[in-house]
Amino acid sequence: MIKVLTIEREYGSGAADIARKVSERLGWTLWDQLLTTEIARHLECDSLHIERREECRDPLHYRLFKAFLRGSFEGSLNAPKMKIADAEGIRAVTEQLVRAAAQEGNCVIVGRGSAYYLHDRPDAFHVFVYAPLDERVGRLRQTGKSEQEALELAETVDLDRAAFIKQCFGVEFPARQYFHVMINSAMGDESVVQVILDGIEVFQKAADQVR
């Protein structure tokens, strides 16, 4: 029985809104901002935020983790300043929380390497949401970003995500073999939501037939 949905994404693809709508349709817990809050609490992050321009001065693991966190707030330039500076500690806490959420079940988990941590769970369905560059830039502009700012974010954030995935899991982002469905959000959020829900149903029926 499928009880876990992970949604990985390209930055600016609108996956956060799509995940929220899917979770509402399913009546499942959404682990997006909630997961970020829990990660920050476990790592004892303070409440101060730093501007994106400071990222160039951060250690590599810190820059990667900020890109990892800020995906929950599509278009945000800020991320919590961490008191802890241990890359393995960051990875371990994230894995612990993702696996705990999956064990609890009936959840939609956005990013944070969840598809990679949970790829071997038979009760998990994994989705990757992408979009053309102009579509992602347009979505980011709707959040108040300038054309240049939106373009820079769309072109660079996923590079940090790819580096994080490569560093932690040894695979090239997005590692298509980990996903059941990869879908272009340019077709519209509601259509994407329906495709995801239909995909879960089809996958579940196929699994039941095997049994």
pLDDT of amino acid 37: 73
| CA–CA gap between residue 35 and residue 107 (Å, rounded) | 11
Lowest average pLDDT, out of 12-16, 94-98, 160-164, goes to: 160-164
Into how many domains does the chain fold? 1
Strands 4-9 and 124-130: parallel
**Per-residue pLDDT band at 65 (split at 50, 70, 90):** low
Pair of tokens at residue 92: 């371990």
Buried b (16+ CB within 10 A) or exposed e, 5-41: bbbbbbbbbbbbebbbbbbeebebebbbebbbebbbe
Residue-wise pLDDT tens digits, 4-54: 999 999 999 999 999 999 999 999 999 987 877 777 677 666 433 222 322
**Per-residue pLDDT band at 210 (split at 50, 70, 90):** low
| CA–CA gap between residue 188 and residue 140 (Å, rounded) | 15
Q: What is the CATH number of the domain that holds 102?
A: 3.40.50.300
Domain encompassing residue 158 = 4-210
